[in-house]
Structure 1
Amino acid sequence: MGHSQAEKAATRERVLRIASRKVRENGMAAPGVAEIMQEAGLTHGGFYKHFASRDDLIAQAAATALAERPVEMEELAGMSEQDRQAGLIDSYLGREHRDSPGIGCGLVTLGAAAGRGDQALKEAYERRVRGYLNLFGGNDSEEARAEAMLTLSALVGATLIARAVADPALSDELLETVARQLTGQQDHPEASAPRGL
């Protein structure tokens, strides 16, 4: 790849990362091309060197947000099933994940959009769902699959509600209570690792 082609690829990747963060923070309708390009340090006119349209960028950004597999998931994947599940639950239901939707799990912020979206977005969403189900041992047995589905639904739902309520105490209580119920712990220790599941 020549220098200019490598530069172009790097620039495109930077724009895509910014757009991916913005769709997680504000949904697919909100980010404008000018805003994204400005944050990337580029002019609006350069946009069409990289993407066919705003819709093209936003669709790719959503797919990127759903495809990202954070380092924490890779680390947790090597643990025993019980430790892996507890680690994922604590990380997913941590305050940092709740408070950082731009680097958080796309399942929470893009669920409604995927439900109304085209086939490609639905498939990207489904791949992330299947990835979590596999990580929770959802392929081990029918019972394990049902448990994995319940756990994933509780994680996504609790995070969505915790972000949406106005009362910070209720938001914290939601996260802590659901984590306790899922792990069977008496206390929900705040996980210290960076979130972004």
Structure 2
Amino acid sequence: MGHSQAEKAESRDRVLRIAARRVREEGMEQPGISALMKEAGLTHGGFYKHFDSRDDLMNQAAARALADGEEAMARAARANADVPRDGLIDAYLGARHRDTPGTGCALVTLGETAGRGGAEIKEAYEKQVRGYLDLIGAPGGGAEDRADAMVTLSALVGAMLMARAVADPELSDELLGTVAERLKQGSGTP
């Protein structure tokens, strides 16, 4: 790859990284092309050298944001070698995850958008849901393990969504702490 091609690839990657962060923070409706390009240190006019349209960028940014979240969840699971599921729960339902949505799980931010979106965003969202279910569930587990993984993932995403949305910091902390405790006790299933 020539020097100019390498620079172009780095610029494109920088725009995608910034857009993925902004998608996790604000959803797909907010980030404008001008603001994203300015933050990347590029001009608005150079946008079309990298992407076909704003929708193209947003779909790629959403897919990247979702994939980044799966990598973070896998790292969190590995952090507790004895009980990987508990490591994942602690990291997901922690104050740091709540307070830094730009580096957090995009399932929380993109659920509604994916539900209303086209096939591309739905497929990216589904891929991450399936990946998380595999990560949470016992390898080679049966229907009961899969059901537990579904309840756990739903509780993780729902608790984080609510913890970010409420105004009372004590209630936010209580939501995260209570759901984490119940999931680790195994009482998150109906």
Q: Could you state the TM-score of these two structures normalised by the residue count of structure 2?
A: 0.92
Structure 2 CA distance for partners of 1:163 and 1:29, relative to 1, 3 Å: same
**1:193 counterpart residue number:** none
Letter matched to residue 148 of structure 1:
A
Separation in 1, partners of 2:73, 2:93 = 14
1:166 aligns with 2:167: yes
| 1:115-154 equivalences in 2 (<5 Å) | 115-137=115-137, 139-154=140-155
Separation in 2, partners of 1:86, 1:28 = 31
Letter matched to residue 176 of structure 1:
G
1:108 aligns with 2:92: no
Name the % identity. 63
Deviations 1:43-78 (A, max 9, x none): 111111101111111111111111223355146358
Deviations 1:8-63 (A, max 9, x none): 01110000000010011011100000110111011111111101111111111111
Separation in 1, partners of 2:14, 2:59 = 15
Separation in 2, partners of 1:118, 1:62 = 12
Structure 2 CA distance for partners of 1:79 and 1:92, relative to 1, 3 Å: closer
Separation in 1, partners of 2:80, 2:167 = 36
| 1:87-106 equivalences in 2 (<5 Å) | 87-106=87-106
Separation in 2, partners of 1:162, 1:75 = 20
5+ residue gaps in structure 1? 186-197
**1:40 counterpart residue number:** 40
Between 1:147-156 and 1:131-140, the stretch displaced more is 131-140
Letter matched to residue 178 of structure 1:
V
Structure 2 CA distance for partners of 1:5 and 1:17, relative to 1, 3 Å: same
Between 1:137-146 and 1:63-72, the stretch displaced more is 63-72
**2:54 counterpart residue number:** 54
Checking the alignment, whether the CA contact within 8 Å between 2:94 and 2:176 is kept in structure 1 is yes
Separation in 1, partners of 2:104, 2:176 = 15
Checking the alignment, whether the CA contact within 8 Å between 1:24 and 1:101 is kept in structure 2 is yes
Secondary structure at 1:70 match in 2 = helix
Separation in 2, partners of 1:129, 1:176 = 23
Separation in 1, partners of 2:54, 2:87 = 37
Q: Could you state the TM-score of these two structures normalised by the residue count of structure 1?
A: 0.88
Structure 2 CA distance for partners of 1:65 and 1:135, relative to 1, 3 Å: same
Checking the alignment, whether the CA contact within 8 Å between 1:77 and 1:135 is kept in structure 2 is no
Separation in 1, partners of 2:180, 2:76 = 20
Letter matched to residue 44 of structure 1:
H
Per the TM alignment, residue 163 of structure 1 is displaced from its structure 2 partner at its CA by 0.3
Separation in 1, partners of 2:122, 2:149 = 20
Larger helix proportion of the pair: 2
Runs of 4+ in 1 over 4 A off after TM superposition: 77-80
5+ residue gaps in structure 2? none
